Chains A and B, each alone.
Chain A
Amino acid sequence: MNVNSNKRMSLSDAVSRFVSDGAHISIGGFTINRNPMAAVYEIIRQKKRHLHLYAHSNGQGVDELIGAGCVDQLEIAYAGSGRFASTCIRFRKAVESGQLPVEDYSNYQMTLRFMAGAMGVPFLPTRSSLGSDLVNRWGFSQTARQANARVPDRKLVVMDNPFDGWCDTERVVLVPAINPDVTIIHVQAADRQGTARISGLPFADVEQAKAARHLIVTCETLVDDDLLRGAPERNQIPFFNVDAVVHVPMGAWPTACYRYYDYDPTRLYQYRDAALDDDRYQAYLEKEVFSSHNHEEMLARIDDRQLEKIKADPRTGYAVGLDRR
């Protein structure tokens, strides 16, 4: 809870204050949309290590954090970036080489886990995954779980409906709450106190935001005080959940930000190509991430025409006719 009236800070300050080594974190967005990429690159630049990352389907950002060696443990539903990587490439390499322990859930289960954290209850029930290996196979062993106070002793619990068949339901799966140390989301608009507005689909950003002890909001547009209060029904994040407001235009690039820009196929294909080879990936990290001081500098190296092409069309909110081959 933070009621300060001005939480504006630089991205490098926000990351160094709220993302510590070993932190449990979650990032907003979905596959190739509205990932807080500027913050992801800043975490990589500051060489944060041993993160415990919670994700539903946060594709590109998850893959880059894993690729840069920031993540020690992952709880996830889906690691893919659509056509650009049906399985995220650095994620796949890390898991196949035994370097990254993973716990698998479904998207709904991860959403419910964030929701439980946001609601302040220890778990929520669902009918999803009964009879499947999501229930039967555990990525983190019970011993490892018992040794780690930050994760629950059990992955999930199958329970008979305590209301005896009520709602034609015999059995439910209980999934444990998540309370990350910090969640980072990228939104279209925020004011300096932290009230924030997402356009298009919010995905599970709101649940992720409210489940966290600390929340960093990066935004395309930093609006004047009180502007968002003119249409409060369109806002999703109340200011007191927010600890840092960072103004980062193109902060989701190369993923999309609805009504601002599309995903950048040129960059995502370049990333794919680099990610497939360890040497090329190291070169990518050096040349594209470490050698730039911030997101603005990273973007300044991209051809203006490439960025012009992904600019959103005002009617549809995406780049109509964008060559995505």
Chain B
Amino acid sequence: MSTEIEYTSREMMAVAAAREIRDGDIVFCGTGISMLAAMAAKHISAPNSVIFFETGAIDSQLEEVPLAVGDPRVMFATSVNGGLADAFATMQNRFTGRQVVGIMGAAQIDIYGNLNSTVIGDYHHPTVRFSGSGGACDVASFVSRTIIFMQHAKRKFVPKLDYLTSPGWLDGPDGRKKAGLPDGGPSCVITNMAIMGFDPETKRMVLNGCFQGVRKEDILDNMGFAVDTSQATQIKPPSAEELSILRDKCDPQRLILG
């Protein structure tokens, strides 16, 4: 008799990201699924993590899910409501910045975890124009660790970005140092199919683990470049408790879960 619980890939992604957040982390959140992950982490594994927004809100008490980082919901019962200048300084700061984990998304990613959220096509005559960096480039430049959300698709995992908005490992293990960036960089990429990591030596993307029911071939078929899949494991599906936190406590209106 099967007792398997049904869940969507968005729910799996949010839970996977929540599990990456450690107790005591200062979590920089963007819009969408990253906020859900941060909210869920506080209830699951990291009760002492701090939710922090580029708009300046520090330790927001999120009783409802914000729909933008400028949402009034991020302003409620914070420790401090600073401004943009404070928020980015906290990440650039040599002491506090080390404790920040950034969660971000993008339109394109390359094998070194560099991100494009600016244009598809030529920068001066784009086929598609996106929102642009916002705080993404700042976060990717400053903080010690980033978690990236992506949809697994060939047009998104590309050999060469149309525009490099946010620096990952740039061109390899010494890339950031050569450019003059602080230590740090992407730690994992959570997709609708898998969790990707980065080889500690080469900083090239690898497959860390597949979600339930996904084969390695399916993952490679949805990427524009090859990655090492030899160390990949099976990722534990969300537990009943994790799902109930996500659905009942974090997003009962399913504004982000869909």
Please give, as numbers and ranges, the residues of chain B lying within 8 Å of A324 by CB-CB distance: 67, 253, 255
- Residue A120 is within 8 A (CB to CB) of chain B in the complex: no
Is chain B's interface secondary structure helix, strand, loop, or mixed overall?
Answer: loop
Please give, as numbers and ranges, the residues of chain A lying within 8 Å of B76 by CB-CB distance: 316-318
- Residue A179 is within 8 A (CB to CB) of chain B in the complex: no
Please give, as numbers and ranges, the residues of chain A lying within 8 Å of B57 by CB-CB distance: 201
- Residue B176 is within 8 A (CB to CB) of chain A in the complex: yes
What is the CB-to-nearest-CB distance from A236 to chain B, in angstroms, rounded to a whole number?
A: 9
Interface residues on B, range: 35 or more
Is A132 in contact with B56, judged by CB distance below 8 angstroms? Answer: no
Is B133 in contact with A130, judged by CB distance below 8 angstroms? Answer: no
Is B134 in contact with A325, judged by CB distance below 8 angstroms? Answer: no
Is B181 in contact with A256, judged by CB distance below 8 angstroms? Answer: no
What is the CB-to-nearest-CB distance from A263 to chain B, in angstroms, rounded to a whole number?
A: 8
Contact status of A134 and B181, CB under 8 A, knowing A82-B71, A111-B84: no
Of the candidate stretches B18-26, B158-166, B188-196, the one touching chain A is B158-166
C-beta contact mask, B80-100 vs A, less than 8 Å → 1, else 0?
A: 011111001000101000000
Is B129 in contact with A87, judged by CB distance below 8 angstroms? Answer: yes
Complex formed: what's the CA distance from A316 to B61 in Å? Answer: 10
Complex formed: what's the CA distance from A78 to B180 in Å? Answer: 24
Contact status of A204 and B167, CB under 8 A, knowing A88-B131, A128-B92: no
- Residue A258 is within 8 A (CB to CB) of chain B in the complex: yes
C-beta contact mask, A93-136 vs B, less than 8 Å → 1, else 0?
A: 00110100000111111011001000000000011111111101
- Residue B221 is within 8 A (CB to CB) of chain A in the complex: no
Complex formed: what's the CA distance from A262 to B72 in Å? Answer: 7
- Residue A213 is within 8 A (CB to CB) of chain B in the complex: no
Contact status of A82 and B134, CB under 8 A, knowing A137-B123, A171-B180: no
Is A131 in contact with B69, judged by CB distance below 8 angstroms? Answer: no
Is A133 in contact with B84, judged by CB distance below 8 angstroms? Answer: no
- Residue B210 is within 8 A (CB to CB) of chain A in the complex: no
Contact status of A202 and B83, CB under 8 A, knowing A33-B70, A106-B136, A131-B175: yes
Please give, as numbers and ranges, the residues of chain B lying within 8 Å of A202 by CB-CB distance: 56, 81, 83
Cβ-closest chain A residue relative to B133:
A106
Most buried by A among B82, B132, B138: B132
Is A128 in contact with B72, judged by CB distance below 8 angstroms? Answer: no
Please give, as numbers and ranges, the residues of chain A lying within 8 Å of B178 by CB-CB distance: 131
- Residue B151 is within 8 A (CB to CB) of chain A in the complex: no
Is A78 in contact with B72, judged by CB distance below 8 angstroms? Answer: no
- Residue B150 is within 8 A (CB to CB) of chain A in the complex: no
- Residue A29 is within 8 A (CB to CB) of chain B in the complex: yes
Is A79 in contact with B131, judged by CB distance below 8 angstroms? Answer: yes
What is the CB-to-nearest-CB distance from B30 to chain A, in angstroms, rounded to a whole number?
A: 10
- Residue B64 is within 8 A (CB to CB) of chain A in the complex: yes
Contact status of A76 and B55, CB under 8 A, knowing A171-B180, A325-B255: no
Across the interface, B67 reaches (CB within 8 A) one of A32, A109, A200, namely A32
Please give, as numbers and ranges, the residues of chain A lying within 8 Å of B67 by CB-CB distance: 32, 82-84, 263, 324
Is B31 in contact with A83, judged by CB distance below 8 angstroms? Answer: yes
Is B134 in contact with A80, judged by CB distance below 8 angstroms? Answer: yes
- Residue A1 is within 8 A (CB to CB) of chain B in the complex: no
Cβ-closest chain A residue relative to B81:
A201
Is B94 in contact with A168, judged by CB distance below 8 angstroms? Answer: yes
Complex formed: what's the CA distance from A317 to B181 in Å? Answer: 39
- Residue A57 is within 8 A (CB to CB) of chain B in the complex: yes
Contact status of A169 and B180, CB under 8 A, knowing A132-B167, A201-B55: yes
Complex formed: what's the CA distance from A206 to B82 in Å? Answer: 11
What is the CB-to-nearest-CB distance from B17 to chain A, in angstroms, rounded to a whole number?
A: 19
Is A106 in contact with B135, judged by CB distance below 8 angstroms? Answer: yes
Is B71 in contact with A204, judged by CB distance below 8 angstroms? Answer: no
Is B131 in contact with A133, judged by CB distance below 8 angstroms? Answer: no
Please give, as numbers and ranges, the residues of chain A lying within 8 Å of B5 by CB-CB distance: none
- Residue A73 is within 8 A (CB to CB) of chain B in the complex: no
Contact status of A78 and B133, CB under 8 A, knowing A171-B180, A201-B55: yes
What is the CB-to-nearest-CB distance from B35 to chain A, in angstroms, rounded to a whole number?
A: 10
Complex formed: what's the CA distance from A57 to B82 in Å? Answer: 16
Complex formed: what's the CA distance from A320 to B66 in Å? Answer: 12
- Residue B142 is within 8 A (CB to CB) of chain A in the complex: yes
Complex formed: what's the CA distance from A128 to B135 in Å? Answer: 10
Complex formed: what's the CA distance from A78 to B142 in Å? Answer: 18
Return the 3 tightest CB-CB contacts between A and B, nearest first. Answer: A82-B68, A171-B180, A78-B134
What would 11 more interface pairs be, CB under 8 Å, given A30-B55, A263-B67? A30-B70, A80-B68, A92-B129, A96-B127, A104-B132, A111-B88, A158-B180, A201-B74, A317-B75, A320-B63, A325-B253
Binding site for B on A (CB under 8 A): 29-33, 56-57, 59, 76-84, 86-88, 91-92, 95-96, 98, 104-109, 111-112, 115, 126-134, 136-137, 139, 158, 167-172, 200-207, 256, 258, 262-263, 312, 316-318, 320-321, 323-325
